[in-house]
A and B are shown apart, each in its own frame.
Chain A
Amino acid sequence: MKKRRKFLSTIAPYGYVMPISLILLTFVVGSVVISLIFSFTKYNLLLDPEFIQFDNYKRMLTDPKMHLAVINTLKVMVLVVPLQVVLSVLFSVLVASRKHTLIGKIAKAAIFIPVISSNAVVGTVWKTMLNARIPVLSDLLDLFGIDTAMLLGSSTTAIVTVSMIMVWKSFGYYMVLNLATLLSIPDSYYEAAKVDGGGTLQRFRYITLPLMKPAIIMDVFLSVVSSLQSFELIYTMTGGGPANSTMTMVFYAYNLTFKTGKAGYAMAVSNVLFLLVLAVMVLQKGFMKREASEI
């Protein structure tokens, strides 16, 4: 009886983690391995893959569309990440300072609504709003000399527009992450600072920001990863256009697989993206470790 009990208690933990481990192995690790293998082949999903060594990777070096996709992906990252993080920090501080008021609660809910909306819906609604020249929106943007009609129609502005909509869509998520950290900062710190004559800005600079640092690092890395993988809003709003100006790496890989039948090459593109994301994750881990040791 004792032996049986011991045996069960030994294997039980493995049983608990087995389902998720199998799911991860099959759908995450498995797909990475498959993608790696197929990236060395010429494969169109129909015919048997043909091994072509590093040709797909070599091709990337001379493929102008790949270069454009990388540049566009980086542009999205540069446009989205700083703005998203700054906005999420500012709004989380604002909402936290009014957490017990009705306006604070309404603001929190309102900012979070886009996060739970589907990308397809958000993309379609924004596209319609920008094209329909809704007076309020077009008049507002007119003040800054921006013609709403051309925001999605010009290679220069389309990527900026889509990026700004990505920020609008997601910064509420980061705001909620930040709020959790903000609300865990003891009020006594602020009270002590007040007693010492610290003003609002000083309290923000010397208490809030340092204690929010781990959350901000997390925001930055999550935002980098999600901007590297941007796809749905672009798919809905511009289809990668005009003239491929919003074609990101994920979008390019999607087109290669499903529109042009170059799945092997698409997997090579995806692997490069995977390496980028992996590098970001490793960096994040390093930063978080350092941060934890500092704290």
Chain B
Amino acid sequence: MKKKLVSVLLCTAMVTGLLAGCGGGSDDKGGSSDGGKETITMWCPPLDDNMLENWEPLLEDFKEENNCEIDIQIQPWENYEEKWSTGAASGELPDIGYMYAEMFPTYIDSGAVADMSEYITDEDREEYLYLDHGYMMDGQYGFPIVTGVPFVLYYNEDILNSLGEQPPETWEDFARICEKATQDTDGDGKVDQYGYAVGFNNGSMNMLYLLNAYFYSLLWQAGTDIYNDDYKTVKFNDEAGVEAAEFFYSLKDYMPENMMSLAAEDAFSTIFGQGKAAFGVTRSSAIQETLFAESYPDLNWNYVTSLKNKDYGTFGATDCLTLSSQAENPELCMKLIKYITGSEFMTEYHKIASGAPLTKSEQYQGDPKMERIVTEDRDKYRPLQVGPCGSDILQNLASELQGMMEGSKSPQEAMDDAAQYANQALDEYWADKE
């Protein structure tokens, strides 16, 4: 009898626990008070290996000055978008969030993020170097926090010297050197040195990385872009877009034969990094010299920020902080956003984790070799056009390009099919708006 009673009680306790676990807790949401203090919640991917510990001391002054707590929740890069989607679905978004370009349209459309224009002063416009990169879809929805680290074209100086070549400036230079560099160096009948270390299969990594690394640059250098000015159709299948696709395809013979099964970063580290390719592309870092010295001690490298065809252009992401439209104290949140992106905070933070200066007052602290990216080459990189259905359109474009590189579609077919898909998605989007 007692046993039964205990069992029933235990079951009841389990049910209660289950229900309690399922119940929504209003305390989880930002803006709650902690002993009279306001709490600002912030979601961020890991910007360095030890971000919370690195940021904590830098935020102390702000917390004290404004009598508030800051709850920073680090979400892994791999599931960052999923976290936002599920957070949005359950109405649990933070006061401040970190977003990259492809994420913005959906959240701007839904009104989840606020236009920060009214909080931007003339001094801000003067001080912040990349503020215009956060202006999109007719509003200041982003406040740049990570920028100035574009994807650049690295080259192996030893290979170029052995070929008697100078660093490439144009597409012609690049194609010529790639062709000359693709060789069987040990005479076993197999190519073991490649022109261009490309990996075009990103597995679990974001497919958009393929466009970031290899394709946007060609598109911009060819003189076109993703969307037309009215954002109602795309233009990447125009003459220039097809020229970009054809050029990329024409380089296939100079890429590793397993490029379709290699991830982009693996291609860089295992082929270019090991001195087996003349060129490789990866995202730059202000401390690239230091990092490469550790990872690839024998590599004699340098870089070209962007090639030129009709124009210069390479992808330089501008990741931003955003303000939630549900933030209970938007003024305080904006103050925090400006504090974090401001010179004082970033000067200290960039000593620990390298990065390009975001403001005029911040001094460059990276490796001298990389400095020209944020000085003389600053106009050679740009962020992505932020437009409707962005993620959908670009994911599909990446898949079509995979088909092209695999040989199942011609460049013209791949670009046309991608454009047809994109225009259909945009038609539906704008029809809904009307």
Question: Is A5 positioned at the interface, with any CB of B under 8 Å from its CB?
Answer: yes
Find out whether the CB atom of A19 lies under 8 angstroms from the CB atom of B85. no
Find out whether the CB atom of B15 lies under 8 angstroms from the CB atom of A242. no
Q: A44 to chain B: closest CB distance in Å? A: 6
User: Which of A23, A257, A259 is most buried by chain B, counting CB atoms within 10 A of its CB?
Assistant: A259
Question: Is A134 positioned at the interface, with any CB of B under 8 Å from its CB?
Answer: no
Give A23 to B107 CA distance when docked, in angstroms. Answer: 32
Give A16 to B10 CA distance when docked, in angstroms. Answer: 9
The number of chain B residues with a CB under 8 A from chain A is 53
Find out whether the CB atom of B391 lies under 8 angstroms from the CB atom of A23. no
Chain B residues with CB under 8 Å of A9's CB are: 4
**Pair count A-B, CB < 8 A:** 143
Find out whether the CB atom of A8 lies under 8 angstroms from the CB atom of B399. no
Tell which of B8, B202, B406 touches A155, judged by Cβ atoms closer than 8 Å.
B406
Given contacts A19-B18, A127-B203, contact A149 B106 (CB under 8 A): no
Main secondary structure on A side of the interface with B: helix
Per-position binary interface string of chain B over residues 240-280, scored 1 when its CB falls under 8 Å from any chain A CB and 0 otherwise: 00000000000000001111111100100010000000000
Question: Is B395 positioned at the interface, with any CB of A under 8 Å from its CB?
Answer: yes
Given contacts A15-B11, A19-B18, A155-B406, contact A238 B392 (CB under 8 A): no
B201-230 at interface with A (beta carbon < 8 Å): 201-205, 207
Find out whether the CB atom of A22 lies under 8 angstroms from the CB atom of B18. yes
B393-432 at interface with A (beta carbon < 8 Å): 395, 399-400, 402-403, 405-406, 408-409, 432
Find out whether the CB atom of A241 lies under 8 angstroms from the CB atom of B110. no
Question: Is A195 positioned at the interface, with any CB of B under 8 Å from its CB?
Answer: no
Find out whether the CB atom of B15 lies under 8 angstroms from the CB atom of A46. no
Question: Is A284 positioned at the interface, with any CB of B under 8 Å from its CB?
Answer: no
Find out whether the CB atom of A243 lies under 8 angstroms from the CB atom of B395. no
Give A46 to B403 CA distance when docked, in angstroms. Answer: 32
Q: A269 to chain B: closest CB distance in Å? A: 15
Find out whether the CB atom of A22 lies under 8 angstroms from the CB atom of B15. yes
A134-155 at interface with B (beta carbon < 8 Å): 147, 149-155
Per-position binary interface string of chain A over residues 260-287, scored 1 when its CB falls under 8 Å from any chain B CB and 0 otherwise: 1111000000000000000000000000
Give A227 to B33 CA distance when docked, in angstroms. Answer: 49
Chain B residues with CB under 8 Å of A133's CB are: 258
Question: Is B14 positioned at the interface, with any CB of A under 8 Å from its CB?
Answer: yes
Given contacts A12-B7, A46-B112, contact A235 B203 (CB under 8 A): yes
Given contacts A127-B203, A149-B257, A258-B85, contact A242 B18 (CB under 8 A): no
Find out whether the CB atom of B403 lies under 8 angstroms from the CB atom of A15. no
Residue of A with least CB distance to B12: A15
Question: Is A237 positioned at the interface, with any CB of B under 8 Å from its CB?
Answer: yes
Q: B109 to chain A: closest CB distance in Å? A: 8
Give A153 to B405 CA distance when docked, in angstroms. Answer: 10
Give A45 to B106 CA distance when docked, in angstroms. Answer: 10
Question: Is A26 positioned at the interface, with any CB of B under 8 Å from its CB?
Answer: yes
Chain A residues with CB under 8 Å of B86's CB are: 45
User: Which of A5, A16, A263 is most buried by chain B, counting CB atoms within 10 A of its CB?
Assistant: A16
The 9 closest A-B pairs by CB, nearest first: A153-B260, A149-B258, A153-B261, A243-B403, A46-B110, A152-B261, A260-B392, A45-B89, A15-B8
